[in-house]
Structure 1
Amino acid sequence: MSKKPKDSKIIIFFKKLGPGLITGASDDDPSGIATYSQAGAQFGLSTLWTALLTFPLMAAIQGMCARIGLVTAQGLTVTLKQHYSKPILYGMLLFSFPAITLNIGADIQGMGAVAHMIYPQVPVAVFCVIITALLLFIIIRFSYQKIAMILKWLCLSLLLYIIVPFMVGQDWLMVAKKTFIPTIKFDKEFLSIIVAILGTTISPYLFFWQTTMEAEDQVHRGVVLVDKKILSDMKTDVNLGMLLSNLVMFFMILTTGTVLFNGGIHQIDTVDQAAKALEPLAGKLTYIIFATGVLGTGLLAIPVLAGSQSYMLAETFGWDAGLDKKFAQAKPFYGSIIVSLLVGLSLDFFEVSPIKALLYTAIVYGLTAPVMIAVIMHIGNNKKIMKEHTNSRLSNILGAITLVIMTAAAVGLIYFMV
């Protein structure tokens, strides 16, 4: 009897990756790409250093969420429901749903606009409908394992953005300088874009998704006891996911900061504008790669957005939930996914500006993130919930820094709005 061939080390490593990789990659959705493109177009390379700042902060908070999911074997919403007052839970739901729906709508519009650019014969609205229908089919038709595998492969689309800067000339000494020596400008425009970057990278919906997916992944792998190896694999997965997310952010700012800023284009409102502006300045291949990446990241991010919202609802009201369940087994869960995508799609037909949708999303995320970070840190240090797996000193230090920075960003956001 022939032996089954052993998987290579690369395949074994890839199999270990899951919720952390998908969460990090989904953070670079079309709306995030629009934010990074505007940062590069408006300020050149002056915001490159933010990628170094956000990486450890994202890794620390998402690591806490992942550990909560592993130890409790349940989503963040269930933990809030069991151990904290109802106003905290319902407050998070109240603020999260409009922001997530607006984010979904902005992403669908961005993908539709980019698809229309590639194939102009089909109207943007038709592409938006096709994209929404495709996403609903994938989410409802396939099991969690297949969706997770699809999402992992879609993460490769992010590598397209890492290639682009090497296709145009770069002053790498200047790139290094702007990366490691922060540029700070105390004016409304610069501080606004810093707040926008923070709101885009450290988003509350990712906290809920990470926790729930770790819990589900634990069930699918048949994990009964959380040991050091499982926690180590989780850290590798989360850290790699957050590193990929920040690398894409870095190279996105680098591309637009080099090409668009130097080309005299300083205002980017939508992701398709960024793609169009790149074509005459950097060539058709760069433009196609950029546009293709938008479609890939949208297909990756929207299921995460819609899924996180539906899990929050299901865990709050006790519905049967899970991407591994058939539609008939979890009708309210899948129904909420359908509604969120259709409402997001409707924004295009009601002519809601994508840039306004993103602005409102950033406001709500910016206001709720500090509260959620404080709650997550409290859960992470609660021995009653976490037992012997409470936060390390480093996690608490990075979490505290994140809380201070996100609170300052929220105060700055209110100041700019007023």
Structure 2
Amino acid sequence: MKSAKSAVLSAIRKMGPGIVTGASDDDPSGIATYSQAGAAYGLNTLWTGILAFPLMSAIQKMCAKIGLVTNQGLTGTLKKHYPRPVLYLMLLFSFPAIVMNIGADIAGMGAVGNLLFPQIEASFFSVFFTIVLLALIIYLPYHKIASILKYLCIVMLVYFVVPFLYKQDLSEILQATFVPKIEWNEEFLAILVGILGTTISPYLFFWQASVEVEEMNARQKKVFVNKKIINEINLDVDFGMTISGFVMYFIILTTGTVLFKGGIHQITTVEEAAQALRPLAGDMAYLLFAIGIIGTGLIAIPVLSGSLSYIFAETFGWEQGLDKKFHEARGFYTVIAISLLLGLSLNYIGITPIQALIYTAILYGITAPILIAMILHISNNKSIMGRFVNSKALNIMGFLALFIMSASAISLVYFYFKN
């Protein structure tokens, strides 16, 4: 038993940033989106897990490679090779989108904390989680933060257990997984857009590139990029995105069987999803689902705030890096602090978590196709990437992601203004 435990801990320590990136993709706001899909349409969106995985994996691999080859984040590369107005436009859309995403996650964590401990108000939990996260991000060096986030990823395993606390029909699950079903109405298409916007999120593009640079700096020696390192990074990204895809899959499976079949078709928040599971699937399913929401929030919020801070620091040439102390990178950490505090304040200025989710989806939907197009251009530019330009297979997946996200963005804007 002891050797098995040591092997698991050793494996976690050796994991790269891919697992954290993947886990942060399934943040509380993402869980809310998947829960809405499962409750409203049962297992009819289960197949999206298979569709989303290769697309998000391809884009994250490109971003990781850009960070490795250029030794700078995505923003720094865009700043160097694209007109400044394009960069400022990305900043204009990214700031409110990420802040509202943080706000929705903090509110979700607070609400779930209140579910677990009803005697304590949700607002207290929201403030508590914000202070804890802010203190950890500012005072801990990067390798400590990375280690904590990797260990927190263990909490994602709870979503692999929850569906099996309820009787499942294997043949129905297999059919829904491999035979896509699409309902040609605006509500169903809007859910599909929401799922894609949640899984292929622009903030992850910036985080992946910048955190690869952090990883190289943390090794404290010069790293010469070669095919072996690229392959290792690709495997790391694939592993992280696989975990993310499975979590998405199992959340839709849980809510699509338990809630949908239980007659609960309207879920707007993560706490509603957790609470609805309790009478239908039992206390254990409810408890594990709720704990998972808090755990994923603790993983995602540092990634969200960190990605925003990397964007600002590289745009304006500030000192940056989670490996630096506060006095060495004041601007970098100030952006993190402001983003967390603004996110916390959303509920106090009348923006509800569900409104924040809608606004975030719209802003992400608009920026994602533009960013994917730029990432593809950079990844195929020999003057930037040298011999590490994209393979044909990676380009196929990348352009497919560009097409699908562009169609999603157009649909999202259309549905929003139509309603």
Equivalent in the alignment of 1:25: 23
Distance 1:215 1:402 in 2: 25
Distance 1:205 1:49 in 2: 24
Equivalent in the alignment of 2:274: 275
Q: Quote how far apart the aligned CAs of 1:331 are.
A: 1.0
Secondary structure at 1:387 match in 2: helix
Distance 2:17 2:187 in 1: 35
Distance 1:351 1:148 in 2: 34
Distance 2:308 2:57 in 1: 22
Equivalent in the alignment of 1:192: 190
The answer to whether 1:248 aligns with 2:247 is yes
Residues 196-250 of structure 1: CA distance to partner in whole angstroms, max 9, x if unpaired?
A: 0000000101000000001111121224211122111101110000000000000
Distance 1:162 1:37 in 2: 15
Out of 126, 130, 133, the position equivalent to 1:132 is 130
Equivalent in the alignment of 1:64: 62
Which aligned pairs between 1:127-276 and structure 2 lie closer than 5 A? 127-221=125-219, 222-276=221-275
Pair 1:9–1:127, CA change in 2 (3 A): closer
Q: Quote how far apart the aligned CAs of 1:141 are.
A: 1.1
Range moving further from structure 2, 220-229 or 146-155 = 220-229
Q: Quote how far apart the aligned CAs of 1:19 are.
A: 1.6
Contact 2:102–2:343 (CA<8 Å) still a contact in 1? yes
Q: Quote how far apart the aligned CAs of 1:12 are.
A: 5.7
Distance 1:101 1:370 in 2: 20
The AA in structure 1 aligned to 2:53 is F
Q: Quote how far apart the aligned CAs of 1:11 are.
A: 5.6
Contact 2:12–2:151 (CA<8 Å) still a contact in 1? no
The answer to whether 1:287 aligns with 2:255 is no
Q: Quote how far apart the aligned CAs of 1:8 are.
A: 7.5
The answer to whether 1:349 aligns with 2:335 is no
Secondary structure at 1:238 match in 2: helix
Equivalent in the alignment of 1:332: 331
Q: Quote how far apart the aligned CAs of 1:377 are.
A: 0.2
Equivalent in the alignment of 1:366: 365
Distance 1:258 1:95 in 2: 37
Distance 1:15 1:158 in 2: 17
The AA in structure 2 aligned to 1:55 is F
Distance 2:217 2:228 in 1: 16
Contact 2:103–2:345 (CA<8 Å) still a contact in 1? yes
Residues 297-343 of structure 1: CA distance to partner in whole angstroms, max 9, x if unpaired?
A: 00000000000001110111111111111111111111111110000
Equivalent in the alignment of 1:385: 384
Secondary structure at 1:388 match in 2: helix
Secondary structure at 1:364 match in 2: helix
Distance 1:293 1:27 in 2: 13
The AA in structure 2 aligned to 1:338 is A
CA RMSD in angstroms, aligned pairs only: 1.3
Contact 1:16–1:233 (CA<8 Å) still a contact in 2? no
Q: Quote how far apart the aligned CAs of 1:291 are.
A: 0.3
Contact 2:214–2:323 (CA<8 Å) still a contact in 1? no
Distance 2:109 2:9 in 1: 31
Pair 1:229–1:37, CA change in 2 (3 A): same
Which aligned pairs between 1:37-76 and structure 2 lie closer than 5 A? 37-76=35-74
User: Which runs of 4 or more aligned residues in structure 1 lie more than 3 Å from their structure 2 counterparts after TM superposition?
Assistant: 7-16
Contact 2:103–2:353 (CA<8 Å) still a contact in 1? yes
Q: Quote how far apart the aligned CAs of 1:15 are.
A: 3.6
Q: Quote how far apart the aligned CAs of 1:13 are.
A: 4.5
Q: Percent identity?
A: 59
Out of 77, 80, 83, the position equivalent to 1:82 is 80
The AA in structure 1 aligned to 2:352 is S
Give the length in aligned residue pairs.
Answer: 413
Contact 2:34–2:251 (CA<8 Å) still a contact in 1? yes
Pair 1:402–1:341, CA change in 2 (3 A): same
Distance 1:317 1:155 in 2: 33
The AA in structure 1 aligned to 2:32 is A
Distance 1:13 1:230 in 2: 18
Residues 39-95 of structure 1: CA distance to partner in whole angstroms, max 9, x if unpaired?
A: 000000000000000000011000000000010111011101111111111111110
Contact 1:125–1:348 (CA<8 Å) still a contact in 2? no
Range moving further from structure 2, 344-353 or 247-256 = 344-353
